[in-house]
Amino acid sequence: MLLGLSIKLFIREIRSGYLTSMLVSLTLAITIVSGISLFTDRLEQALSTQTEEFLGGNLKFESNKNKLQPLLKDLDIKDSQFMEMALFASVIFSDKEMQLSSVKAVDNSYPLIGSLELENSEGVYLIKSSPKPGTVWMDERLQNLLKVNYGDEVYIGDTSFIFTDTINYEPDRASGNFSFAPKTIMNMSDLESTQIIQPGSRVEYNYLFTGPENEILYIRNFLKDIKESGDEIEMLDEDSSSLGRAVDRSENFFLLGGLIAVLLSACTISIASQRFTRRHISYVAILKTLGMKTLHIRALYFLIFFYTTILTLIFGLFFGWLLQNNFINIMSTYFPTELPSPGLYPLVVTCLTAFICQFGFIYPHILKLLSISPMRVLKDDIGLNQGSISVISAGLLAFFVLLYLYTNQITLSLIIFLGVIGFSFVGIGSIYLLLGSKSLGLGASSPFNLALSELRRRKLGNSFQIFAFTVAIGLSLITFSASKNLLGSWQNSIPEDSPNNFAINITKEDKGQMELFLKENNIKATTFFPVANASISKIEVDEEIQIDRNFNITWIYNLPEQNQVLEGEWFSDENENGISVSDEISERYNLSVGDLVYLKVEDRDIKTFVQSIRTINWDNFSPNFFVIGHPSLFKDIPSTFITSFYIPKEKQENAAELMREFRTISVFSIEELIKQVKEIIDQVTKALNSILLLTCLSAIFLALSALQDGFSVRRHQSAILRTLGASNSLIKNSALIEFALLGLISGILGALMSYSGVYFIETEVFQTTANFYPELFVLGPFIGLVVVSGLCFYLINGIVKKSPKELFT
């Protein structure tokens, strides 16, 4: 019986149109959540595959010694594979030219992950193997510098090789400190005959592993045990590339947009639930009078909302799938290949969102409804206290759980949660003060007096309406600002003339000449940073703790651009100076301001201390350093220099000329990387615009629901006033004035809210500098005025078009 009754009631509710705003809001929320989570899930999977390719495996062990090979037999691995490569810099000769190159000698398991894209006289092709012994592959830049064609001979050390293919793409681009120079790949079996590796030669041995997670962890632990100073272990989840950060940041934007849209929908659902409950008070009272048990009534309503959730889940997931397809189409240039199928996570998040909305924003109202006395049948004035502590607490708890679900950070969730609550209290308090106290009478003599009187008279209801409008306007403006200003500032962080070339291995002798060359060719370079390899040991009371990695350290007087001192002080002439370390290094190796350290640089030990901790903007495409020392500590220490500069496309021949003139300097281009990051920002902007559209839709639904809620009372009042002879224009104009004022106040508060939100996102979430966006303070009041008045005009027209008699029924 319950099942039949619940289905009948559910269909009747849908037909009556009273459930529309709840159904649409839930569907919107589910669409946005599923669309975003499906997309980000597939994006993460694709990124993980890309990162695997970038690393060359799941795990990488780097060492300056060829020591791992004999130890590998002790490793008990069944399903994992590994490969070995040696990386070194060497001058390569052709019959016409010679050039310093980064050489990668690979064994026959190469590549472990992905394929290489090669090109020869027959065209472009993909290959999953190493070069045959006696042959080499080179990148196009090296091919041009050496002026060689396919089949020509080149010389590495004592051996000659046949150049067979050009490397267009190689999967393990993250390998080696030498990878910046033009690249050559040769077979490992030829390495010995070249006689290049001699005792004392600078060679880096990389061992790459791929396999199941448990074996990779086992190998990692094994490697940790044998790891010595200078050795490094790298895992997949430690990707800090510019692309990785760009994708991470775009995911943050998507989740932010999603969270905002869901919160807006949650507010609408809450208002719709209140209306639903009010309409069902008599219905429940009658069912109780007829002897239906509360448990059965509860089950009846539970079923109705279960159908609501299922229906909205079906539609929401369908539209969500279309939405993520739209995102993929927008970002198709970034993902030329098909994205992996989504996992279960998006479905879990979507269902959780739907059920949190149901249990947090709908079910508490139903519980309240069930408490209505059957006496209501006899006494109409028995009502419900809808704003009870339990209903508000459930809503707030659901709000917090949603925040946590989307941010996965308890502190961030708490900050946003408390921020919104605090803002609401301040906002509602200010509205109370602003509206002042009511005067005698309704002020029905003129539209303005009537509007003002209504504002004052319904102070509490108006405060909640203003709150709903403020949330709608504020959150929409945050999404708008994210798609325009935040992305804009991200885009501006990569200006058109961002350095697109790095030059390393610049000797002291070449530095002056190179500066002259750049000046003559009107190329502006960043600072020439001295660089040396250093190891660091932390000095504790009675021991020295060696930090298990080496650093490329520099020494300069001035704080580099886009670096910010977090703790301690930057170098100054008045104090004793030490070193400055990045916040990541400080955190990872437990280094604090004032800690004593030994720096080992070129066989010299320097005893100094940590003077400051810095944040670094890694997206600035300039040389950045984890460790910077004061120049006084590094007197007479031999070093090379590193710099970066921008060469416009039309001056690309300057780069080749520079490399020809300075043979020992390695110049490498990051043009492609910058292009990729810029493309991602462009695509994120487009994708975020779709989210903005849906957020605005959610906001309009929230505003409409809040207005509709207030208009049911207004309908009755309007019927009485018109019976007493009030003109339509009095009712229409007073409502328009009233809601224009409400919209204006909400717009101003919404602008303040969005400004605070954007400030918080800029400083805390994206950790950039906060900007002032005056357009928010124009757009907020304007949108409030136009949208709220527009919606009011639509609703009040529906009232004044009806005769007073129709309004009474």
Partner 1 sequence: MILKVNNLRKEVTSGDSSLIILDDVSFSLEEGQSLAITGPSGSGKSTLLGLLAGLDSASSGTIFLDNILIHDQNEEERASIRKEKVGFVFQSFELLPSLTALENVMLPSELKSEADPKSNAEYFLERVGLKDRQHHYPNQLSGGEQQRVAIARAFACSSKILFADEPTGNLDSKNGKLISDLLFEVNSETDNALVVVTHDHDLAKKCDKTISLKLGKIVE
Closer to partner 1 by CB, 48 or 728: give it: 728
Task: Among 133, 441, 512, 798, indicate the residue that binds partner 1 (CB under 8 A).
Answer: 441
Closer CB to partner 1, 472 or 730, in the complex? 730
Question: Among the candidate windows 44-52, 120-128, 195-203, 722-730, which touches partner 1 by CB under 8 A?
Answer: 722-730
Number of residues that bind partner 1 (CB under 8 A): 28
Q: Respond yes or no on whether the N-terminal peptide bond of residue 781 is cis (omega within 30° of 0).
A: no
Between the alpha carbon of residue 222 and those of residues 63, 79, 212, 233, 236, the distances in Å are 15, 16, 15, 11, 17
State which residue, 141 or 458, has the beta carbon closest to partner 1: 458
Residue 521, CB half-sphere, CA atoms under 13 Å: how many?
20
Nearest distance from C-beta of residue 716 to partner 1, angstroms? 8
Based on the shown chain and the rule CB under 8 A, indicate whether residue 805 belongs to the binding site for partner 1: yes
Structure tokens, 558: 């001035």
Residue 280 tokens read as: 């069902």
Segment contacting partner 1 by CB under 8 A, of 256-264, 404-412, 680-688, 724-732: 724-732
CB of 796 to partner 1, least distance (A): 14
CA 57 – CA 209 distance, rounded (Å): 5
Per-residue contact flags (x/-) with partner 1 for residues 138 to 157, judged by CB under 8 A: --------------------
Determine which residue in the list 108, 329, 727, 797 makes contact with partner 1, applying CB under 8 A. 727
Cβ distance 391 to 270 under 8 Å?
A: no
Among 457, 484, 663, 715, binds partner 1 (CB under 8 A): 457
Closest among 51, 52, 74, 71 to 228, alpha carbons compared: 71
Minimum distance from residue 706 beta carbon to partner 1 (Å): 18
> Is 281 near partner 1 (CB under 8 A)?
no
Instruction: Note whether 724 binds partner 1 by CB under 8 A.
Output: yes
Neighbours of 45 (CB within 10 A): 15
Cβ-contact 157, 149 below 8 angstroms? no
Position among 156, 726, 744, 787 found at the interface with partner 1 (CB under 8 A): 726
Alpha helices in 290-344 (DSSP H): 294-330
Among the listed ranges 31-39, 205-213, 222-230, 438-446, the one in contact with partner 1 (CB under 8 A) is: 438-446
Among 431, 551, 722, 745, binds partner 1 (CB under 8 A): 722
Q: How far is the CB of 379 from partner 1 (least distance, A)?
A: 11
Q: Establish if 295 lies at the interface with partner 1 (CB under 8 A).
A: no
Query: Nearer Cβ to partner 1, position 488 or 804?
Result: 804
Q: What are phi and psi of 666, to 5 degrees?
A: -100, 125
Least gap, CB of 29 to partner 1 (angstroms): 34
Alpha-carbon span 10 to 719, nearest angstrom: 30
Stretch that binds partner 1, among 102-110, 206-214, 285-293, 721-729 (CB under 8 A): 721-729
Instruction: Compare residues 367 and 442 and give the one whose CB is closer to partner 1.
Output: 442
Q: Based on CB atoms, which residue is closest to partner 1, 403 or 721? A: 721
Considering only residues 466 to 495 of the shown chain, the ones binding partner 1 according to CB under 8 A are: none
Rule CB under 8 A: say whether 684 interacts with partner 1.
no
**Residue 797 found at the interface with partner 1 (CB under 8 A):** no
Exactly one of 123, 200, 725, 774 binds partner 1 (CB under 8 A); that residue is: 725
Q: Which is nearer to partner 1, 81 or 717 (CB)?
A: 717
Q: Which residues contact 319 (CB under 8 A, 6 or more apart)?
A: 27, 30, 31, 34, 35
Q: What is the DSSP string of 591-616?
A: --TT-EEEEEETTEEEEEEEEEEEEE
| Nearest distance from C-beta of residue 747 to partner 1, angstroms | 26
Closest approach of partner 1 to the CB of residue 455, in Å: 12
For 235-257, give one letter per residue: b (16+ CB within 10 A) or e. ebeebebbbeebbebbbbbbbbb
* Closer to partner 1 by Cβ: residue 244 or 461: 461
Residues 38-97 that bind partner 1 (CB under 8 A): none
Q: How far is the CB of 461 from partner 1 (least distance, A)?
A: 9
Interacting residue with partner 1 among 193, 572, 575, 729 (CB under 8 A): 729
Picking from 93, 243, 52, 144, the residue whose alpha carbon sits closest to that of residue 679 is 243
Q: Is 803 in the site for partner 1 (CB under 8 A)?
A: yes
Of the residues 314, 348, 720, 786, which one makes contact with partner 1 according to CB under 8 A: 720
Q: Candidates 323-331, 417-425, 642-650, 713-721: pick the segment binding partner 1 (CB under 8 A).
A: 713-721
CA dist 318 and 31 (Å) reads 8
- Partnered with residue 207 across adjacent β-strands are 61, 84
Cβ neighbours for 80, distance < 8 A, ≥ 6 positions apart? 209, 210, 211, 212, 215, 216, 219
Residue identified by tokens 């099942």 is 3
Classify burial at 539, counting beta carbons within 10 Å of its beta carbon; exposed 0-12, middle 13-18, buried 19 or more: middle
Residue closer to partner 1, measured from CB, 236 or 444: 444
C-alpha to C-alpha distance for 69 and 602, rounded to whole angstroms: 28
DSSP 135-201: EEEEEHHHHHHHT--TT-EEEETTEEEEEEEEEEE-S-TT--TTTTS-EEEEEGGGHHHHT---TT-
Binding to partner 1 by residue 444, rule CB under 8 A?
yes
Closest to partner 1 by CB, 100 or 721 = 721
Name the 3-class secondary structure at 72: helix
Instruction: Single out the residue of 443, 530, 747, 784 in contact with partner 1 (rule: CB under 8 A).
Output: 443
Let me know: does 204 contact 178? Beta carbons within 8 Å: yes
List the interface residues with partner 1, window 347-386 (CB under 8 A).
Answer: 381
Q: What six digits make up the tokens of 147?
A: 């002026």
Binding residue for partner 1, selected from 326, 546, 717, 768, defined by CB under 8 A: 717
Choosing from 719, 737, 785, 787, the residue that interacts with partner 1 (CB under 8 A) is 719
The yes or no reply on residue 459 touching partner 1 (CB under 8 A) is no
Smallest distance, Å, CB 459 to partner 1?
11
Whole-number minimum distance, CB 730 to partner 1, in Å? 8
Q: Which of 42, 368, 376, 458 binds partner 1 (CB under 8 A)?
A: 458
Separation of alpha carbons 715 and 807, rounded Å: 7
Using rule CB under 8 A, residue 804 touches partner 1: yes
521 vs 651: CA distance, rounded Å: 9
Q: Does 440 bind partner 1 (CB under 8 A)?
A: yes
Task: Tell me how far apart the alpha carbons of residues 476 and 465 are, in angstroms, rounded to a whole number.
Answer: 16
Amino acid at the residue 716: H
Tell me, residue by residue from 746 to 785, as one string, x for binding to partner 1 by CB under 8 A and - for no binding: ----------------------------------------
Residues pairing with 610 in the sheet: 579
Contacts 24+ apart (CB under 8 A), 603-609: 604/637, 606/633, 606/634, 607/539, 608/578, 608/579, 608/633, 609/578, 609/579
Tell me which residues touch partner 1 (CB under 8 A): 381, 440-446, 457-458, 717, 719-730, 803-806, 808
